[in-house]
Amino acid sequence: MEAVHYWKTKDAVEAKLTTKDGATIMVLDGEKYPIWGFPRGHLLISNSDYKGEAVTLEERIRKYGTFKVLKHELKNQIFNETWEKLEKDLPKEQIIKEGYEALDRCLAIAEGLKYDLMPASKMCPSVREIHRAWTKVAPSERSLKLRDVLTLCLQEDDGYRYRVNWMAIWWPWIKWFSDPIKLLDKGLKMVERGEVIGDMKRKIKLLRRVLMLVLEDPGLKDKFIKLFKEINWNKVKITEAERYHFRAKYFRCDMDVLTY
């Protein structure tokens, strides 16, 4: 299977930034397929590894950047704490309520990213479609803030985006005949099996357990089902060009066609 190869011998590669269907795309020197997006690494990485020292939020943001701190807080305040509460067998209603409170604290941090958000018209097609459907189905203030955070993650971090693209392979034709929540659960289980690195397997397992709990909330469950049915998954499912780059991401992205 063909895969992006510049990283095997080079630390960087020259790229021509252009547009396709209104979205930004990079044509990489010597590679068969271009890649959606353009370098905005300052949003994803910093000069220091995030250790979450016991300092103020403002100091952490100055040191690591808003996006990195936000991702860390989402993982800790929502996913890790929810898992811990589930292990303690606390009432699910309490866990969901406290999860909403933690989400609001995290979304307050996202205010610092408002100038880094990309217009939907410039997003790659799969993220643009999710943004469109989410805006139509759940236009509340909190929901739109969450939309902005999650689409920013998908747009800027292709590792996350490719996993969503890969799950969507089976969804365009089956969504009308299956429970979307059960389908999401099965999709995340497949992603967990496709992961090569143990740490990523644990992250997906954590994500799946928390999402399945959150979707027990009747209001959120209803919105999720509407969103799932509103999205045109043919615009989201992975393309051969995306597989070309995904094959370098420590994931068995051809598991749907190969046994390994």
Domain boundaries, the chain: 43-116, 124-260
- Determine the average pLDDT of the residues in 222-228: 93
What pLDDT, on a 0 to 100 scale, did the predictor assign at position 38?
Answer: 82
pLDDT band at 41 (very low <50, low <70, confident <90, very high): low
**Per-residue pLDDT tens digits for 18-29:** 999 889 999 999
Separation CA 229–CA 254 (nearest Å): 26
Name the residue with higher pLDDT: 196 or 77.
196
- Determine the average pLDDT of the residues in 201-225: 93
164 three-state secondary structure: helix
Residue 193: exposure state from Cβ atoms within 10 A (0-12, 13-18, ≥19): exposed
Separation CA 161–CA 143 (nearest Å): 20
pLDDT band at 221 (very low <50, low <70, confident <90, very high): very high
Stretch among 2-11, 53-62, 216-225, 240-249 having the lowest mean pLDDT: 53-62
- Determine the average pLDDT of the residues in 220-243: 94
H or E, element range at 152: helix 141-156
Strands 15-20 and 35-36: unpaired
Q: Evaluate if residue 16 carries a pLDDT over 60.
A: yes
What pLDDT, on a 0 to 100 scale, did the predictor assign at position 59?
Answer: 84
Separation CA 209–CA 86 (nearest Å): 9
What pLDDT, on a 0 to 100 scale, did the predictor assign at position 36?
Answer: 93
Please answer whether residues 25 and 37 qualify as being in contact, where contact means their C-beta atoms are separated by less than 8 angstroms: yes
Stretch among 49-58, 122-131, 198-207 having the lowest mean pLDDT: 49-58
- Determine the average pLDDT of the residues in 100-127: 90
Q: Evaluate if residue 175 carries a pLDDT over 80.
A: no
Ranges assigned E (strand) in the chain: 15-20, 23-28, 35-36
End-to-end CA distance of the chain: 13
What pLDDT, on a 0 to 100 scale, did the predictor assign at position 54?
Answer: 55
**Per-residue pLDDT tens digits for 51-80:** 656 578 888 888 888 888 888 888 888 999
Instruction: Tell me the two tokens of residue 53.
Output: 């020292």
As a whole number, the mean pLDDT across the chain is: 89
Please answer whether residues 149 and 70 qualify as being in contact, where contact means their C-beta atoms are separated by less than 8 angstroms: yes
What pLDDT, on a 0 to 100 scale, did the predictor assign at position 53?
Answer: 61
Q: Evaluate if residue 197 carries a pLDDT over 80.
A: yes
What pLDDT, on a 0 to 100 scale, did the predictor assign at position 254?
Answer: 96
What pLDDT, on a 0 to 100 scale, did the predictor assign at position 64?
Answer: 81
